[in-house]
Structure 1
Amino acid sequence: MSDDGGCCRVGDHSDPAARAWLSEAIRRVEADANRSADTHLHVFPLPARWGIDLYLKDESVHPTGSLKHRLARSLFLHALCNGWVSEGTTIIEASSGSTAVSEAYFARLLDLPFVAVMPRSTSPEKIELIEFQGGRCHLVDDPSSIYDESRRLARETGGHYLDQFTYAERATDWRGNNNIAESIFSQLAHERHPIPTWVVVGAGTGGTSATIGRFIRYRRHDTRLCVVDPENSAFFGGWSEDDPSATGSGSRIEGIGRPRVEPSFLPKVVDCMISVPDGASIAAARWCSSVTGRLVGGSTGTEMWGALRLVAGMRSRGETGSVVTLLCDGGERYAHTYYDDGWLADQGIDIAPYTATLEKFADTGEWVEPPS
């Protein structure tokens, strides 16, 4: 189709009906953000005499129950505004669970079909949540095959593969616009240590650490960023050896840890990394739940273990300040895994030594690493 004597060609994307659908789709996604209040910043109980404050940014209160609600919203807006998604497009995603739950929510909001490609080991609770949101789960035996399988399904359906592992770091406006970093620093503004010494996060896509690390530099804060990584994940080895081709075997801590260093992970914005055994992650999740009265997931346990180690280090050096980490999602999603003693036994995970470390730290402020 052409007009203006052939000097200008008008493509299908300028169709008034398509533009009207796009406008309405963006309005719906933006309306969801306007309806959602900011997430809470809870104070974790530490002795006041330590002079160190620990905060949990509670991302479990999002409409879909996890930190990934922010990412899903950003990914949908990114895909819509890039012209990759239109009316009727099937949305495909490779996900271990929580991202897919949130993306299924937004797909249903836009009346779009949604397929989550996930490892067969994904918790049944997450599968049920995806299906509750109207999504379909496509399970694979080999976790490393989720990328290729997602691309294949997108080709076969004529759909769009959102690809969180590539686009997470670029879909979010890291300079501000109410991203998670800006929210944390705004909420800390009236606390006794308003600029945190450390922010501690896990890495799944790498998008959250990229957003926070960039924001810290952009705002010229002295805050340092620590990324915690569960055992068997590739991120720690890739960061410590400066090797983006590093690989691992995946992770039993859903939502964080990957078999490869994902494209969205930006190692240069990370100041410190801590490798956390799965037993420590699960022990810390259970211990955090008992202390706070809020049931938390395994990735929150990984972050709590790292945050408490940093608090212990600050205390041993006589430093004061604040540390912030995330409550990524609720523990009710893991009733048949991390909170099931039978599952732990089947996996050969002993949390007792790590629980002892946490209890000793709570009693004395001393951090004693469990024997490896």
Structure 2
Amino acid sequence: MSAAEFPHVVRSDERSWADEAIRKITAEANRSADTHLYGVPLPEQWGIELFIKDESTHRSGSLKHRLARSLFLFGLVNGWIGPGTTIVEASSGSTAVSEAYFARLLGLPFIAVMTRSTSQEKIRLIEDFGGSCLLVDHAAEVYSTAEEVARTTGGHYMDQFTYAERATDWRGNNNIAESIFEQMTQELHPVPRWIVVGAGTGGTSATIGRYLRYHRHDTRLLVVDPENSAFLPSWRDGDPELTTGLPSRIEGIGRPRVEPSFVPAVIDAMVEVPDAASIAAMRHLNRYAQLDAGPSTGTNLWGVWRLIAGMVARGETGSVVTLMCDPGGRYARSHQDDAWLAANGLDPAPYTQVIEHFLDSGEWLEGEWLEPGEWRDLPA
């Protein structure tokens, strides 16, 4: 039996190339220490600890480094990626940056399909890692365009939105949830009461939610969602086909449709975060804890502050963990720029006042903590 007689048979040189590619990716992971888990100071009398896992310290600079590694390994072990395969992705930025890094590691061409609104800093990072960018006008176009590019180039469409929840081993194997729990072992409250994350593909929330259930941890998962995203209304209404048709202004999270990797059943609570609140929390974090983060981290933090406000009001103690998704420097011309905020009608000042008042007094100013329609099935 030969490859010539059976063209679908993988030749030994292709298998050898895949073996070496997997070795390179595994070696890259072994060279990398785990990301830091920072403690953020809170008033001692609250009895609450807050930790932020800094995923921006990955070599490609974001939380998506883990996803990109998993997607490449998934493609390699499935035989979808071989020598010379063009890698194509539909991405708002950070996933594309990380995939461009791994494509360069393997010597493969990479094309990112993204909207024109993507920050210039992210486009430059993709190009610095050897990738190229194909810009489209609307978020809904990225999927079909990426599929077409992969077809015409004979490449592989990574499709993070479909494969994110299955490419990562949610049982363990050094996924982000296992890393959090290992790093928490010596803390006063080693099992968090809550973990707070956003959803872009849905893969991170799916991995963490499944891990919590598999290991029977008494930890709840809160997913925060920016304006215009389909995830929260879909979760609330039980409608997986729900769409908004609107792009998210918080890069990396929020989608106009419910992505295949979003697993609503593993989520304990969701909250919609105003975009201006995300900006306020992002900027406040830099002053409060000297951590320079991007806007999706701000979305996480706004959810964290509201969550902790409820814990303080009820006299609860324990720990809360969230993620720092990428560095704030990637948004110097957008979310960090006052002119950009004004052009987009975003005023973070009132939300900054809410955060500062809460940290000074323990009181949350913006109405009741549990607001109708924003939370569901929240355990006490």
Give TM-score, length-normalised by structure 1: 0.97
SS at match of 2:140: helix
- The Cα of 1:369 is off from its aligned counterpart by 1.3
2:249 is the alignment partner of 1:252: yes
**Gaps spanning 5+ residues in structure 1: where?**
4-8
Shift of 1:13: 4.0
Unaligned runs of 5+ in 2: 372-380
Is the 1:357–1:370 contact (alpha carbons within 8 Å) kept by the matching residues of 2?
no
Superposed displacement of residue 14, structure 1: 3.3
Which of 178, 188, 191 aligns to 1:195? It is 191
Residue 46 (structure 1) aligns with:
42
* Partner in structure 1 of residue 339 of structure 2: 342
Q: Deviations over 1:335-362 (max 9, x none)?
A: 0111100000000111111011011011
Equivalent AA in structure 1 for residue 30 of structure 2: N
**Structure 2 residue aligned with 1:6:** none
1:85 pairs with 67, 72, 81, which one? Answer: 81
- The answer as to 2:142 corresponding to 1:146 is yes
Tell me how far apart the structure 2 counterparts of residues 214 and 13 of structure 1 sit (CA, whole Å).
Answer: 36
- Confirm or deny: 8 A CA contact 1:91 1:114 kept in the other structure: yes
1:224 to 201, 220, 224: 220
For 1:178 and 1:246, the matched residues in 2 are separated by 33
Amino acid at match of 1:368: L
Q: Which residue, 104, 128, 149 being the options, matches 1:108?
A: 104
Deviations 1:252-300 (A, max 9, x none): 0000000001000000000000100000000000001111112100000
Q: Which residue of 299, 316, 319 corresponds with 1:319?
A: 316
Cα distance, 1:2 vs structure 2: 5.2
1:24 Cα deviation from its structure 2 partner = 0.6
Q: How far did 1:11 drift?
A: 5.2
Match for residue 310 of structure 1 among 307, 310, 318: 307
Q: Distance in 2 between matches of 1:112 and 1:164?
A: 18
- Hey, what does 1:239 align to over in structure 2? 235
Q: Deviations over 1:2-22 (max 9, x none)?
A: 59xxxxx86554311111111
TM norm structure 2:
0.95
Give the partner amino acid of 2:152: E
- Alignment of 1:274 with 2:271, yes or no, is yes
Q: 1 CA distance for matches of 2:300 and 2:366? A: 16
Give the direction of change, closer, same or farther, for the CA distance of 1:24–1:352 in structure 2 (3 Å limit): same
- The separation in 1 between residues aligned to 2:38 and 2:44, in whole angstroms, is 15
The SS at the match of 2:302 is helix
Give me the whole-angstrom Cα distance separating, in 2, the residues matched to 1:260 and 1:79. Answer: 24
Q: SS where residue 303 of structure 2 aligns?
A: helix
**Runs of at least 4 residues off by over 3 Å:** 9-14
Cα distance in 1 for residues equivalent to 2:60 and 2:309 = 33
Measured on the aligned residues, the alpha-carbon RMSD in Å equals 1.4
The one-character-per-residue Cα deviations of 1:222-268 (angstroms, maximum 9, x if unpaired) are 10000000000000110011111111212000000000010000000
SS, match of residue 210 in structure 2: helix
Amino acid at match of 1:52: I
Equivalent in the alignment of 1:353: 350
Aligned mates of 2:35, 2:278 — CA distance in 1: 23
Q: Distance in 2 between matches of 1:215 and 1:274?
A: 21
One-letter code aligned to 2:225 = D
* Superposed displacement of residue 130, structure 1: 0.2
Q: Does structure 2 conserve the Cα–Cα contact (< 8 Å) formed by 1:276 and 1:302?
A: yes
How many residues in Structure 1 have an aligned counterpart in Structure 2?
367
Q: Residue 177 of structure 2 is aligned with which of 181, 186, 201?
A: 181
Structure 1: distance between partners of 2:282 and 2:2: 61
Q: Secondary structure at the match of 1:238?
A: helix
Percent identity of the aligned residues?
A: 65
